Amino acid sequence: MKTGIDALSFDVAKIHLPIKTLAEARNIETEKLEKGLGLIKMTLPDVHQDSVVFAANALTRLIEDHSVNLDEIARIYVGTESSIDNAKPIGSFLVDLMEQKFGENTLAGCDVVDFTFACIGGVDAMQNCLDFIKLNPDKKAIVVTTDFAKYDLNSTGEYTQGAGATAMLITVNPRIIAFENNWATNTKGVFDFFKPHRTISKEAITGNKNNEVWFDNLEAEIEIHKDQPVFDGQYSNQCYMDRTRNAYFSFKKLKNTSETLYNSWSSIIMHLPYAFQGRRMLSEIYALDAENSIISGEENPAEHQTKLKETSKTPEYKNFVEEKLVPAELASSLIGNLYTGSIFMGFLSTLAHFYDSEKEIAGNTFGFLAYGSGSKSKVFEGIIQDQWKLAVSVVNLFETLNKSFEIDFETYEKLHKKEQKQSIQTPKKEWILERIENKNPNLLGARYYKWID
């Protein structure tokens, strides 16, 4: 019995800042970002958008474009690191909004939960749903990923920002891809990238040493939420490479093969914080698993890095990248980082590229190398199914991305600082954040959404 992805949809922020504009404002060489990292556009949420909005839009499109029968949906599992509440999951919002649009109690029997493990949370959610479908083949599940990758102004992560969601229908006998049973995992608890609870003393805000009540806060310390992470870029890259390498070779053991594994994959889908991250991270695996490798993995660190750089510059590696990695990079260049959705957008980008190129890929094996900071990697593979074109024909990925609205740098900074009060674009046929309750003490902070025709 085959299980996998039967249908895919997405929603991406409809406004963007050109990377060239950001580079000029930050005195960064444009070529470094465009040709060095593969960045072209950076998408940003409009005033009326948040992680629930992106998720609801992607899910609505999945349901409508593929005529999904909600009575068959047993699970809606969400991968995110952009949760808007510490208790109420995004999945519970989605059930409410879908019932508003498609009928009351249509999802009353549906299980929902959010998965959080940085950028790999969506893969965790999908693996869980695949296992469920294997045990309950008469049921279907939906996996949603939704995130806003926001970084501090002037930080080294600023140019990798992005916003959007994906939604996937998980079934038996899927039309797009069927996943094999082998999954390799490598995990290590580290602080390469995280979003901690932060505090500031009340005295620092009020100037009062007596801990008087301030906006209903009795505590002497005020907790602060920031969407922006604490991160060490170089260390995070090393963690990415270490976890992925270890998971890759664990996967080889599961497959019980001594052959070069990546040669069996026609395309490779990786987590892409920026478009060219995958090709930078994969050079080590490429070298170590090559038939005539010049790298053993036992060199001293300096020599190891030198050999990796030499490998990445060879014509053979460049051809490898062009053939197996570039199709997944295309959408990332136009969107930015989607965190949990990044690897699935890479998959969708690859499918859309081959669909638009009229290339038949049915029967091809795709390799997936997922990563989430904190840190964990999972390596798995799937086989493209005969009806993939039919399922992908309604997606219109690149046509949609080309319609993105360009904003100027001043507008970008106002949005980032939450000084922009009016939406940049008038919403149409999409969900919006209508309001956040700020008066009723029993509903303080509750977020309300509505559909705009």
Q: Which domains does the chain have, with CATH numbers?
A: 3-192+232-282+325-452 (3.40.47.10), 194-224 (no CATH)
Q: Which two tokens stand for residue 13?
A: 């922020």
Global pTM reads 0.96
Residue 429 has pLDDT above 90, yes or no: yes
pLDDT of residue 154: 97
DSSP helix/strand/coil, 365: strand
Residues forming a β-bridge with 199? 223
Residue 292 has pLDDT above 70, yes or no: no
Burial zone of 2 (CB within 10 Å; 0-12 exposed, 13-18 middle, 19+ buried): middle
Q: Which two tokens stand for residue 140?
A: 């279907």
DSSP helix/strand/coil, 396: coil
Residue 297 has pLDDT above 70, yes or no: no
pLDDT of residue 313: 85
Residue 259 has pLDDT above 90, yes or no: yes
Residue 304 has pLDDT above 80, yes or no: no
pLDDT of residue 310: 81
Q: Which two tokens stand for residue 54?
A: 């992106």
- Amino acid, single-letter form, for residue 453: D
- Amino acid, single-letter form, for residue 382: G
- Classify the C-alpha dihedral 276-278-270-363 as positive or negative: positive
Q: How many CA atoms lie within 13 A of 235 on its CB side?
A: 11
Would strands 193-194 and 184-187 be described as parallel, antiparallel, or unpaired? Answer: unpaired
Torsion of CA 12, 327, 274, 52, to 10 degrees: 20
pLDDT of residue 296: 60
Residue 340 has pLDDT above 70, yes or no: yes
Residues forming a β-bridge with 170? 5, 141
Burial zone of 387 (CB within 10 Å; 0-12 exposed, 13-18 middle, 19+ buried): middle
Residue 42 has pLDDT above 70, yes or no: yes
**Rounded to an integer, what distance in angstroms lies between the CA atom of residue 125 and that of residue 123?**
5
H helix runs in 266-395, sequence order? 277-281, 283-288, 301-312, 315-324, 326-335, 342-356, 388-392
| Mean pLDDT (whole number) for 392-420 | 98
pLDDT of residue 290: 86
- Amino acid, single-letter form, for residue 256: N
| Mean pLDDT (whole number) for 169-185 | 97
Quickly state the pLDDT bin for 384 (edges 50, 70, 90): very high
- What average pLDDT does the chain have? 96
